[in-house]
């Protein structure tokens, strides 16, 4: 079953995932439904199509996968070159459709619209979606991005040097920003905004603001804007907190044995707070380097792992599986917002360096090798 991701996560990884495929389903029509016709080359890779839909409003409001109210249909495509389907009611929908691995699609519908999806190839899938200003504009953006996407894949495969990637990323961002500059009133400009990093989002926000509320994607735009504002505020907080003049926020949390442990217990030592979870792939990838630093700088340094966003049993199993030798504390769900905001945590892993006086000197989001150079510098090693 194809995982139905939130829009932001899908839209932010378009260089490593193919967009906008096509699909077919036979669904009972309602009077205000959207009508979709799909034309595709035959045969299809699997002989069937999986169609998943969720309202755009639910995609925007969902905090986790389980919050999405997804409806799924399977359509037989063998021997067919086209299909038609309609949305079941007068709701704005996001569809995710799959002809199998590497042949997946996202598109959006509003009541009363009529869209045509033309698939020209599979493996990888190539297509256009036309019939509405939103999908016309999105198809234009995606078509311009295809050569960049293909070059990125070549870099990933080692066929082109990694040094080409920064310039490639600039070209990729330019596809979106150029569209916004030339078409600020287009509903697809709102789509383009969803793919921008915070600085560019804030730069172009005023351009699309007058008409953004009219787009079907406005709930996702509002969600993105809230996230950008929170991220920028967190970054400002992180910079202020990393000055070496701010006391690390105090906390007391239970360890693996249920004993209450406080940050103040470690005053006089260098401390790394590692906000992590056993579900976090990048957290796990960073453990070897963290273990090396822990061994190298003991007893001057202590590492405190603070587990987030998972059940207690998963946390304990993760500590055991990865053989993590430092202090481990558990951050319960009802306390997460307060402590994560206090430390400006926006993603995982986040590592915080605290000096022996209890002041924060560094906050690093993500797994960044430069973190350990900073640690050595601060400790005078």
Q: Tell me the residue length of the chain.
A: 381
Q: What is the token pair recorded at 160?
A: 């082109």
Place of tokens 């704005």: 92
pLDDT of residue 309: 93
Q: What is the token pair recorded at 63?
A: 């905090």
CA distances to 141, 166, 316 from 328, rounded to whole Å, are: 46, 37, 9
Place of tokens 């707070």: 273
CA distances to 116, 142, 318 from 136, rounded to whole Å, are: 10, 10, 47
Annotation says 283 is catalytic: yes
Exactly one of 10, 280, 283, 308 is catalytic; which is it? Answer: 283
Q: Are 180 and 203 in contact (CB under 8 A)?
A: no
**Rounded distance between C-alpha atoms, residue 352 and residue 239, angstroms:** 12
Q: Are 134 and 188 in contact (CB under 8 A)?
A: yes
Q: Helix, strand or coil for residue 375? A: helix
Q: Helix, strand or coil for residue 211? A: helix
pLDDT of residue 8: 34
What is the side-by-side order of every strand in the sheet holding 114-121?
82-86, 35-39, 114-121, 126-130
**Rounded distance between C-alpha atoms, residue 109 and residue 329, angstroms:** 46
Tell which residue, 231, 252, 250, has the closest CA to residue 359.
250
What count of other Cβ atoms lies within 10 Å of the Cβ of residue 171? 13
**pLDDT by residue, tens only, the chain of 381 residues:** 333 333 333 333 333 333 333 333 323 333 478 999 999 998 888 888 888 999 999 999 887 777 888 999 999 988 888 888 999 999 999 999 899 888 988 899 999 999 999 999 999 899 999 999 999 999 999 999 999 999 998 988 889 998 888 899 999 999 999 999 999 999 999 999 999 999 999 999 999 989 999 999 999 999 999 989 988 887 888 888 888 889 999 999 999 999 999 999 999 999 999 999 999 999 999 999 999 999 999 999 999 999 999 999 999 999 999 999 999 999 998 888 889 988 988 889 999 999 999 999 999 989 888 999 999 999 998
What count of other Cβ atoms lies within 10 Å of the Cβ of residue 198? 15
Q: What is the token pair recorded at 254?
A: 């239970």
pLDDT of residue 269: 96
Name the phi and psi angles at 21, rounded to 5: -95, -155
Report how far apart the first and last C-alpha atoms of the chain are (Å, whole number): 51
H-type alpha helices, the chain = 7-11, 56-61, 133-156, 165-182, 187-193, 198-212, 218-241, 281-285, 287-297, 312-322, 333-342, 370-379
What is the side-by-side order of every strand in the sheet holding 48-55?
71-76, 48-55, 93-98, 104-109
Q: What is the token pair recorded at 198?
A: 């915070």
**Rounded distance between C-alpha atoms, residue 157 and residue 148, angstroms:** 14
């Amino acid at each position: 079953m194809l995982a139905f991701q939130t829009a932001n996560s899908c839209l932010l990884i378009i260089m490593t995932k193919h967009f906008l495929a096509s699909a077919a389903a036979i669904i009972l029509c309602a009077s205000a439904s959207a009508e979709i016709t799909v034309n595709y080359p035959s045969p299809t890779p699997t002989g069937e199509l999986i169609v998943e839909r969720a309202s755009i409003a639910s995609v925007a409001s969902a905090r986790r996968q389980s919050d999405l109210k997804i409806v799924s249909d399977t359509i037989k495509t063998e021997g067919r070159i086209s299909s038609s389907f309609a949305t079941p009611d007068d709701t704005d929908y996001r569809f995710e459709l799959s002809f199998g691995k590497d042949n997946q699609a996202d598109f959006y519908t509003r009541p009363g619209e009529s869209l045509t999806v033309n698939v020209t190839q599979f493996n990888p899938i190539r297509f256009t979606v036309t019939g509405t200003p939103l999908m016309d504009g999105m198809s234009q953006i995606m078509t311009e991005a295809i050569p960049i996407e293909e070059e990125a894949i070549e870099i990933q495969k080692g066929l082109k040097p990694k040094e080409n990637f920064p310039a490639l990323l600039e070209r990729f961002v330019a596809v979106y920003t150029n569209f916004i500059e030339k078409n600020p009133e287009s509903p697809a400009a709102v789509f383009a905004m969803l793919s921008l990093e915070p600085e560019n989002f804030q730069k172009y926000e005023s351009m699309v603001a007058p008409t953004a509320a009219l787009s079907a994607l406005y709930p996702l735009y509002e969600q993105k804007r809230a996230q950008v504002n929170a991220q920028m505020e967190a970054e400002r907080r992180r910079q202020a907190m990393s000055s070496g003049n701010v006391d690390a926020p105090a906390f007391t949390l239970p360890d693996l044995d249920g004993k209450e442990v406080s940050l103040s217990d470690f005053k006089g030592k260098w401390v790394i707070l590692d906000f992590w979870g056993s579900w976090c792939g990048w957290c796990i990838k960073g453990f070897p380097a963290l273990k090396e630093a822990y061994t190298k700088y003991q007893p001057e340094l202590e590492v405190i792992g603070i587990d987030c966003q998972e059940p207690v049993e998963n946390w304990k199993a993760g500590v055991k599986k990865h053989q993590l030798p430092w202090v481990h504390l558990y951050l319960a769900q009802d306390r997460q917002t307060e402590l994560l905001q206090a430390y400006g945590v926006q993603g995982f892993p986040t590592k915080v360096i605290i000096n022996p006086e209890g002041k924060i000197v560094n906050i690093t989001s993500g797994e960044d090798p430069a973190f350990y150079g900073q640690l050595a510098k601060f400790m005078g090693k």
